[in-house]
Amino acid sequence: MSRTRELSVDPVTSSDAARAQDETRRARLRSGKVTDFAIQASVLISIGLIWEIASRGGFVHPFLLPPLSEALMRLVSNAITGTLFIDLGLTLYRAVTGFAISAAIAVPLGVLMARSAPVRWFFDPLVSIGFPMPKIAFLPIFILWLDIYDTAKITMVAFSCFFVIVSASYAGTLAVDRWQVWSARSFGASERQVLTEIVLPMALPQILTGFQIALPVAMITTIVTEMLMGGRGIGGAMITAGRFADSVGVFSGIIAIALLGFAVIRTLEMIRRRILVWHAEARS
């Protein structure tokens, strides 16, 4: 009889587990994490309410600050007619294409700069001068050289992202642990194997950080070039709304851009976690 009691599921242990779960839940409430979130959410909600009341109540002229509800309704109606998705899609297409072209050139260049002294000598001053420059100033030159449509926009985006990605790839490759490289070589790895299986994976976290900075830069640049050149795309739509004094359109555009930016940043974080799942930083 005592043997069967030992083999069966012990009711005492299972209620221990339930008690432990209760403790964690209560501890979380005590540490204030839930209340923190609730307070911060309510701050955003109250700002939304203040906006709505200020605008509808006439405290701020409804032209300068149209009611939040109207901006949201315009957003929804644009979504229904599809113009919102056309505009956001166009902007995203230009940003991602420019970013991809830039990355395809900048990552190999950064890695090469870290491994070859002559390449580094030639490009280092160009990169360090180009970094703090307001690269948007070069847009009129690109318009002159290319065209007034997408080519100039995408080239401008690629130019803007280029320096960030080169710096990040350069720094990441430079920081690769020499011991790992020597260890691989002592096992007989060829230079190519060292590059593809040691150097590039170890440089990947910093390269990805460079990407996480560069893609928002690409989006900002796309929006500004669209504002300058007009046409479609979320930037173009907003500046057209501005010129036609359509303030509801302007504010609904802002909300759309904020949502797009939020989505892009979250997606990048998710992608980074997936790609770097093998890396030490995923464990911390």
Partner 1 sequence: MSIATPFRYAPLLILFLAWEAATTFGLISTQMLPHLTTVIATWWELMAGGELPSQAYRSLSRSFAGLGAAVFFGILIGVTMAGSRAFRLVANPIVQAFYPMPKSALIPVVMIWFGLGDMSKISLIFLGCMLPVVISSYNGARGVNPFFIWSAKSLGASNAAVAVQVVLPGAMPEILNGVRTALAFSFILMVSSELVIARDGLGYLISTFGESGSYPAMFAVILTVAALGFIADRTYSAFMRYVLRWRES
Q: Provide the binding-site residues for partner 1, judged by CB under 8 A.
A: 36, 39-41, 43-44, 47, 63-64, 121-126, 129, 131-141, 143-145, 216, 219-220, 223-224, 227-228, 235, 238-239, 241-242, 245, 247, 250-251, 253-254, 257-258, 261-262, 264-265
For the CB of residue 184, give the shortest distance to partner 1 in the complex, in Å: 33
Nearest CB to partner 1, comparing residues 112 and 200: 112
Nearest CB to partner 1, comparing residues 20 and 144: 144
For the CB of residue 192, give the shortest distance to partner 1 in the complex, in Å: 29
9 — alpha (psi -120 to 50), left (phi > 0) or beta?
Answer: beta
For the CB of residue 227, give the shortest distance to partner 1 in the complex, in Å: 5
For the CB of residue 121, give the shortest distance to partner 1 in the complex, in Å: 7
Kindly report each contact of residues 143-149 with a partner whose C-beta sits within 8 Å and lies 24 or more positions away, as own/partner.
143/229, 148/229, 149/231
For the CB of residue 195, give the shortest distance to partner 1 in the complex, in Å: 25
160: enclosing H helix or E strand: helix 150-174
Q: How far apart are CA 215 and CA 157, in angstroms?
A: 10
| Contact between residue 237 and residue 251 where contact means Cβ atoms under 8 Å apart | no
Q: How far apart are CA 34 and CA 20, in angstroms?
A: 19
Of 80, 106, 94, 112, nearest to 234 by C-alpha is 94
Q: How far apart are CA 47 and CA 56, in angstroms?
A: 14
Nearest CB to partner 1, comparing residues 85 and 262: 262
Nearest CB to partner 1, comparing residues 201 and 231: 231
Nearest CB to partner 1, comparing residues 150 and 226: 226
For the CB of residue 9, give the shortest distance to partner 1 in the complex, in Å: 45
Q: How far apart are CA 106 and CA 161, in angstroms?
A: 9
Nearest CB to partner 1, comparing residues 20 and 259: 259
For the CB of residue 76, give the shortest distance to partner 1 in the complex, in Å: 19
Query: Which tokens hold the place of 138?
Result: 């070069």
Nearest CB to partner 1, comparing residues 254 and 276: 254
Any residues with CB less than 8 A from the CB of 155 and at least 6 apart, and which? Answer: 98, 142, 146
Of 215, 216, 226, 257, nearest to 152 by C-alpha is 226
